[in-house]
Structure 1
Amino acid sequence: MTVADLSAQLTAYEGRPAVLGGRGRDPVGAAMIRHWCEAMGVPEPGVEGEAPPAMLQVWIMGGLSGAVGRTAAYEELVALLDRAGCTAVVATDCEQEYLRPLRTGDEITFDAVIESVSSRKTTALGTGHFITTRTEIRANGELAGIHRFRVLRYAPVRTKPASAANDAPAPAERPRPVINRDNAGFWEGVAGHRLLIQRCTACGRQRFPWLPGCGECGSPLWEAVEASGEGVVFSYVVMHHPPVAGFDAPYAVGLIELVEGVRMISNVVGVEPGRIRIGMPVTLEFVRDPEASGGQELPVFRAYEEGL
């Protein structure tokens, strides 16, 4: 099949339904609102019983049981891409419109349409097509919001096998952190073995990661303050799969709550990954990663088991 033929077949699915008669698994509930706010690190809504607008997608997710109400048209589109070698998928972005607040007790229904399928695109992950679905979400039958969700279905880039002349391929380098104008000050601090967080000079709230404005009062004014580096494991995962270039599994990634009240993500070292526990005390260390290009300086947290 030529590229033009495949593109024509894919665009023929534009405008066809992706979900018909979808229904949220549960009504809008206070418990889920509370859990979501805690996970996102944001305060609960000021109006009792209202869900944060950004939770719009939460109420239509299928959970571990998978998508709800997918149509044959959407499954055919996915199968067509699979046959073309686009067997991998990654979510890229979403757009949301909020038309009325969702309140506890609201029954959620939704329908989705395949809004667009892009021409063939080449990305760092591989070559494929972006699929955008447009979902209308209703609360008790009233249109409450519109959710556009975009995924890339792509053919993964295949690495070349090591040549017979080489005993082994060169070791993969770990990816370097993305440094931009918003977080450059943080990485300058790391290079000097200082853990810097931000403090809003308008309302005094401390924050991490670095952002251009305060999430509490909206002020763009802030100052950098040095954190102590002491904290506890708030949450963690032990990575076994999938393999990531430059990382030897298993390794632990922790969400660390610092004594200053902010949280940051980094590796947890010092104990076996299987022995890490929530609430375990940790202390900041700076290490130079020899596997990162240029020997990147990185902040990690050393955990201590009680009684040792």
Structure 2
Amino acid sequence: MGARLKAYEGQAASVAGKGKDLVNEPMIRHWCEAMDDTDPAYTGPDAIAPPTMLQAWTMGGLSGHSGRTGAYDELFDLLDEAGCTSVVATDCEQEYLRPLRPGDEVGFDTVIESVSDRKTTKLGTGYFVTTRTDVRVGGDLVGTHRFRILKYAPARQKKEPEGPRARRPRPVVNRDNAGFWEGVERHHLLIQRCTDCGTLRHPWLPGCNACGGPDWDTVEASGEGTVYSYVVMHHPPFPAFDPPYAVGLIELAEGVRIVSNVVGVPYDKVRIGLPVRLEFRRYDEPEGDAEGGPSVLPVFRVLEGRAGGEG
């Protein structure tokens, strides 16, 4: 099996692929808004694309690319036959040689760079597959994107022994966010405010991401917000959690966003735009338990009568 898989190393997965769109300002703007990146280098007449968008210009969408070969699909079929029917993305590496600018026409070639020996992980046993995409503009190499996945056979889930309910993992508290968690313990949701330019920010950072100023104070959030986006967690079933449940990106009335659980309605009734209200919940043991860290967490309850309908 290993030799058959190794035979795919060096084979092309796509040849002379073309980006479906020129590098363009609308996509750059959407990316920056999603990432909350206000760097002035990405706007104006001399704008460049954020370097981390490198892969975005090569994505084929649902219809794929005309330059795609069959090698990658053949490799996946072979792994499926070996019982490795699940897949998870593990990491990526990018190298930037020059900025991309609006109007650039992107071309690329992708090669299956490596297939590992069979590995055993907590998810199961399988193979790490790495592809390398060389991105070009006008024939010149502008960047390289390596993408690595694990194609694996899921491990059998061990039945948890009967006993006390597992405790939730505690948030990691450090010198940069300690003030936030101290506020939560007192049932105050504190937002950092730059004392130089007045910009609010969350999560807490050691310096302002707008002006770079190191000094800050805090304002207390009113607790009002809306669901900006959300996901429903189904798997994996971590101890102390009961999936499925909704995790929301909540836009507070003050303009910053925070990730937290959405409560008060079934997970399948959560919708973007729902108004929510902050509340605090204590989990497990009170402050000072042996596991350490905060046991109070901010969550957001959907306002009564505002749950979404079917759709």
TM-score range, shorter chain: 0.7 to 0.9
What residue in structure 1 maps to residue 62 of structure 2? 64
Q: Secondary structure at the match of 2:259?
A: strand
Specify the code of the residue in structure 2 equivalent to 1:27. Answer: L
Equivalent residues of 1:236, 1:252 under 8 A apart: no
1:179/1:135 Cα in 2 relative to 1: closer, same or farther (>3 Å)? same
Partners of 1:23 and 1:235 lie apart in 2 by: 33
Unaligned runs of 5+ in 1: none
Specify the code of the residue in structure 1 equivalent to 2:137. Answer: A
Equivalent residues of 1:280, 1:305 under 8 A apart: no
What residue in structure 2 maps to residue 301 of structure 1? 300
What residue in structure 2 maps to residue 96 of structure 1? 94
- Cα-to-partner distance string for 1:100-148 (whole Å, 9 max, x where unaligned): 2222222221101122222333222222222221111122433221111
Q: Secondary structure at the match of 1:34?
A: helix
What residue in structure 1 maps to residue 264 of structure 2? 270
Corresponding residue to 2:119 among 118, 121, 132: 121
What residue in structure 2 maps to residue 31 of structure 1? 26
Specify the code of the residue in structure 2 equivalent to 1:95. Answer: E
1:131 partnered with 2:126:
no
Partners of 1:186 and 1:125 lie apart in 2 by: 34
| 105-114 vs 10-19, which moves further | 10-19
Partners of 1:67 and 1:290 lie apart in 2 by: 51
Corresponding residue to 2:53 among 52, 55, 63: 55
Please report how far the alpha carbon of residue 235 of structure 1 lies from its aligned counterpart in structure 2 after TM superposition. 1.8
- Cα-to-partner distance string for 1:64-103 (whole Å, 9 max, x where unaligned): 3357643232222222222222221111111112222222
Specify the code of the residue in structure 2 equivalent to 1:225. Answer: T
| 229-238 vs 34-43, which moves further | 229-238
1:20 partnered with 2:11:
no
1:272/1:148 Cα in 2 relative to 1: closer, same or farther (>3 Å)? same
Partners of 1:16 and 1:238 lie apart in 2 by: 37
Q: Secondary structure at the match of 1:71?
A: coil
Corresponding residue to 2:189 among 185, 195, 205: 195
The equivalences for 1:284-295 within 5 A come to: 284-289=278-283
**Would you say how many aligned residue pairs link Structure 1 and Structure 2?**
295
1:213/1:86 Cα in 2 relative to 1: closer, same or farther (>3 Å)? farther
Q: TM-score, normalised by structure 2?
A: 0.78
Specify the code of the residue in structure 1 equivalent to 2:188. Answer: R
Q: Secondary structure at the match of 2:126?
A: strand
- Cα-to-partner distance string for 1:14-70 (whole Å, 9 max, x where unaligned): 222222121212222222111111111112614434221111111111223357643
Specify the code of the residue in structure 1 equivalent to 2:28. Answer: I
Specify the code of the residue in structure 1 equivalent to 2:300. Answer: F
Unaligned runs of 5+ in 2: none
1:225 partnered with 2:224:
no
1:307/1:113 Cα in 2 relative to 1: closer, same or farther (>3 Å)? closer
Partners of 2:78 and 2:206 lie apart in 1 by: 43
Partners of 1:50 and 1:204 lie apart in 2 by: 27
Q: TM-score, normalised by structure 1?
A: 0.78
Q: Secondary structure at the match of 1:179?
A: coil
| 87-96 vs 38-47, which moves further | 38-47
1:272/1:147 Cα in 2 relative to 1: closer, same or farther (>3 Å)? same
1:187/1:132 Cα in 2 relative to 1: closer, same or farther (>3 Å)? farther
Partners of 2:78 and 2:4 lie apart in 1 by: 9
Q: Over the residues paired in the alignment, what is the CA RMSD in angstroms?
A: 3.5
Equivalent residues of 2:115, 2:129 under 8 A apart: yes
